[in-house]
Structure 1
Amino acid sequence: MSIFNETETIALLEKLTNTPSPTGYTKKIMQVMATIFDEIGVPYTRTNKGALIVTLKGENDERHRLLTAHTDTLGAMVKEVKSSGRLSLSMIGGFNWNAVEGEYCTIHTASGEEIRGTILMHETSVHVYRGASSLPRDEKHIEVRVDARVKNADDTRTLGIEVGDFVSFDNRFEQTDTGFIKTRHLDDKASTTLLIELVKYVHQKQITLPYTTHIYISNNEEIGYGGNSNIPEKTVEYIAVDMGAIGDGQQTDEYTVSICAKDSSGPYHYELTQQLVRLAKANQIDYKLDIYPYYGSDASAAIKAGADVRHALFGAGIESSHAYERTHIDSLRHTADLLYAYVMSPMVDEEEEV
């Protein structure tokens, strides 16, 4: 059985990716999340860092599960208002500057104004700058061309733009007739969407899960500490639902759910990871088992913070991560199915007792 509703999932995913939320500037997206949970009719708590935690009461209230996804995304902050009136940027999250060159963006001022711009090389014009194509794409050469009549720093500051203002990148959401979804910030709004759909399904069908399960929507993952606190003390298993990394040497693709065995933080909990593999096989869920070499998650952040939990990670395969990302509807479907199979299964140390 598949709990996946394609129409609802894609509509919600588009809504979330359309909402700017670079790490540190997530109040709006978290309010969107709160409104969604209010509409579903499930209570939630809010952490001091701004994360939301929904708790679904289970038959066993002594041993808990936690599943997390994050709403914060890559972005930037204004590093300098240049004498030309353009802006230099400070990167938020781990991406390459060439991944955002030529992208439209929004500058979010402290007064609440939103001013449009374009991220470009300073030496963009080939008619002026000889050898521009070979110059490094870095913070010294990349800048924002502000869409206003500005000729100097004073003109730009008159608009309300100042150092420390957040800059979000346009997502450019598109669903193709071949089943692909292209947009920035599938990491990790694809997983957030699937967790919301899981909560809605369980609530509307009045399903009682075998264990009390917490749905933790974090908002600081891209900088390394989103889900490392406020973990309920009865939590035994901690699952990060996050993107699968695709590239040379990887098994992960855009059509299956990716189960991570190890990332840059080290191996994930072996027995829990193997349980996910068994669940995928038993439920005819297409999956790939993989290692992500340059990667960290909220689950690994929780372990580093000292949480005494079994941790694992799985999610949809995302092509061109931290750039203009893409996945396929099949990958979202298989991830949703593994989510449901997992929350309905016994804990890994109780499998033999069932």
Structure 2
Amino acid sequence: MTVLTIDIEYLQSILETLLNIPSPTGYTDKIARHVSEELDRLGVFYEVTRRGAIRARIRGKSEKPARAFVAHVDTLGAQVKALKDNGRLELVPVGHWSSRFAEGSRTTVFSEAGAYRGTILPIKASGHTFNEAVDKLPVSWETVELRIDAYAKSKDDLMRLGVDVGDLVAIDPQPEFLPNGFIVSRHLDNKAGVAVVLAALKALVESGRTPTVDIFGLFTIAEETGHGASSILTPEIASLVAIDNGTSAPGQNSDEFGVTIAMGDQTGPFDYHLTHKMVQLCREHDIKFQKDVFRYYRSDAASAIEAGADVRTALITFGVDASHGYERIHMHALRSLAELSTAYALSSVEIDRDAREFSTLSGFTTQPTENADQQLAPDTDEPHPEPETEPAE
């Protein structure tokens, strides 16, 4: 079976649109509406939770054991901590990111009176005034402030504008789509993952093929603050594949090309069988891939497990250079992820037992335990043919 054709123009177009919709965690209503409207255009059924997370569904040949892909629409941002006497705003980060990348950012502040544009600056921003002291400021959120582009020279001025403590701040993405396939922008984590899920759903719908089991596309609204997929799963979902960013950096094996399959993150190893299913599908369909382990990383999958969901989890990623900063990815990785997603949706189910939440040991999975040298043919370095019962799902 060949992989489904992914509409690259659609993938790029929807990503560009998503990037230009401000959605820091806590301010995601607009992007939730947009993703829902896009699902309407694709003809995919969906439901929206009270707070705006989205659960889309494509019916398969069987309801169980259902499979789900999850990506988060929320991004990093900031929140007003205090109104300062000089008419500037003190900030705290929304999500975990360095003020090093905040300095110089153009922003939008969402107040009850309306939106204001502004810039995040060091508290000593003028070289003509502070000379070398500008370069001696430590990197911290305490040493930056937000300058609103409105008359505001005092705390009282800010209050007259309607700006207040707790107002949310969106950081401009400044996206660039280069002819060679590279994409540079803030918030590719995880607008790119959302675009991949939508492109995969589009390919499935247009192919006219029925997935093996029900397929869910989950879009969460608070991954950057750790909540993620903690409350959006249904009991029939047995396998959850998170699509998010991999960290292309020194000491990591992630890559901006192909699929980077995460074997583990700070919450521990991902499900053995589902992860190896992803590897197996990449090999079968000639999709470039590499594996990686992340030390300082968690995803929607982690929040689902920590919330008590008995679900197999995997994390497949697009390699990102300078994650949580000025990020860079390549379209090759996004296309590869969408191809892998459709291949998984159409693949057979090996663990039938997963259709039941509780069962006996009949049909329970196994993991290889033999010594590696026992799996080699005598007098040769060539391995035996693959066993008939490969780890799957």
- Give the TM-score taking structure 1 as reference length: 0.96
Please state whether the residue corresponding to 1:98 is helix, strand or coil.
coil
| Deviation string, structure 1 residues 65-96 (Cα, Å, up to 9, x no partner) | 11100000000111111111110101100101
| Deviation string, structure 1 residues 36-70 (Cα, Å, up to 9, x no partner) | 11122222111123100011111111211111000
Alignment of 1:268-279 (within 5 A): 268-279=270-281
Aligned residue for 1:315?
317
Please state whether the residue corresponding to 1:21 is helix, strand or coil.
coil
Structure 1 CA distance for aligned equivalents of residues 171 and 309 of structure 2: 34
Does the 8 A contact of 1:271 with 1:348 survive in 2? no
Structure 1 CA distance for aligned equivalents of residues 232 and 192 of structure 2: 23
Does the 8 A contact of 2:263 with 2:269 survive in 1? yes
Does the 8 A contact of 2:58 with 2:216 survive in 1? yes
Indicate the percent of aligned positions where both proteins have the same amino acid.
Answer: 37
Aligned residue for 1:300?
302
Q: Which runs of 5+ in 2 are unaligned?
A: 353-387
- Give the drift of 1:209: 0.3
| Residue 80, structure 1, aligned to residue 82, structure 2 | yes
Structure 2 CA distance for aligned equivalents of residues 352 and 234 of structure 1: 25
Letter in 2 for 1:150: A
Does the 8 A contact of 1:275 with 1:348 survive in 2? no
332, 348, 351: which one pairs with 1:349?
351
Q: Which runs of 5+ in 1 are unaligned?
A: none
Does the 8 A contact of 2:69 with 2:243 survive in 1? yes
Aligned residue for 1:246?
248
Q: Which moved more, 1:215-224 or 1:194-203?
A: 194-203
- Give the drift of 1:229: 1.3
80, 91, 94: which one pairs with 2:93?
91
Letter in 1 for 2:125: T
Aligned residue for 2:231?
229
Aligned residue for 1:128?
129
Letter in 2 for 1:173: P
- Give the drift of 1:139: 2.2
Aligned residue for 2:158?
156
Q: Which moved more, 1:339-348 or 1:317-326?
A: 339-348
Aligned residue for 1:114?
115
Does the 8 A contact of 2:318 with 2:329 survive in 1? yes
Please state whether the residue corresponding to 2:100 is helix, strand or coil.
helix
Structure 2 CA distance for aligned equivalents of residues 98 and 163 of structure 1: 23
Does the 8 A contact of 2:203 with 2:342 survive in 1? no
13, 25, 28: which one pairs with 2:27?
25
Structure 2 CA distance for aligned equivalents of residues 75 and 231 of structure 1: 26
Aligned residue for 1:8?
10
- Give the drift of 1:206: 2.4
Structure 1 CA distance for aligned equivalents of residues 203 and 285 of structure 2: 18
- Give the drift of 1:352: 4.6
Aligned residue for 2:385?
none
- Give the drift of 1:271: 1.5
Structure 2 CA distance for aligned equivalents of residues 337 and 40 of structure 1: 18
C-alpha change, 1:105 and 1:348, in structure 2 (3 Å) is farther
Aligned residue for 1:265?
267
Structure 2 CA distance for aligned equivalents of residues 47 and 185 of structure 1: 23
Please state whether the residue corresponding to 2:319 is helix, strand or coil.
strand
Does the 8 A contact of 1:78 with 1:90 survive in 2? yes
Structure 1 CA distance for aligned equivalents of residues 237 and 224 of structure 2: 23
- Give the TM-score taking structure 2 as reference length: 0.87
| Deviation string, structure 1 residues 95-150 (Cα, Å, up to 9, x no partner) | 01101111101101123x11110011011112222422121121221101111122
Structure 2 CA distance for aligned equivalents of residues 329 and 198 of structure 1: 14
38, 46, 49: which one pairs with 2:48?
46
Does the 8 A contact of 1:3 with 1:336 survive in 2? no
Q: Higher Cα Rg: structure 1 or 2?
A: 2
70, 80, 83: which one pairs with 2:72?
70
Letter in 1 for 2:81: K
Aligned residue for 2:210?
208
Does the 8 A contact of 1:80 with 1:89 survive in 2? yes
Alignment of 1:146-185 (within 5 A): 146-185=148-187
Structure 1 CA distance for aligned equivalents of residues 260 and 317 of structure 2: 5
Please state whether the residue corresponding to 1:334 is helix, strand or coil.
helix
- Give the drift of 1:348: 4.7
Structure 2 CA distance for aligned equivalents of residues 329 and 53 of structure 1: 26
Letter in 2 for 1:298: D
| Residue 198, structure 1, aligned to residue 200, structure 2 | yes
Please state whether the residue corresponding to 1:294 is helix, strand or coil.
coil
Aligned residue for 1:333?
335
Does the 8 A contact of 1:76 with 1:167 survive in 2? yes
Please state whether the residue corresponding to 2:40 is helix, strand or coil.
helix
Aligned residue for 2:288?
286
| Deviation string, structure 1 residues 252-276 (Cα, Å, up to 9, x no partner) | 1111211000000000011211111
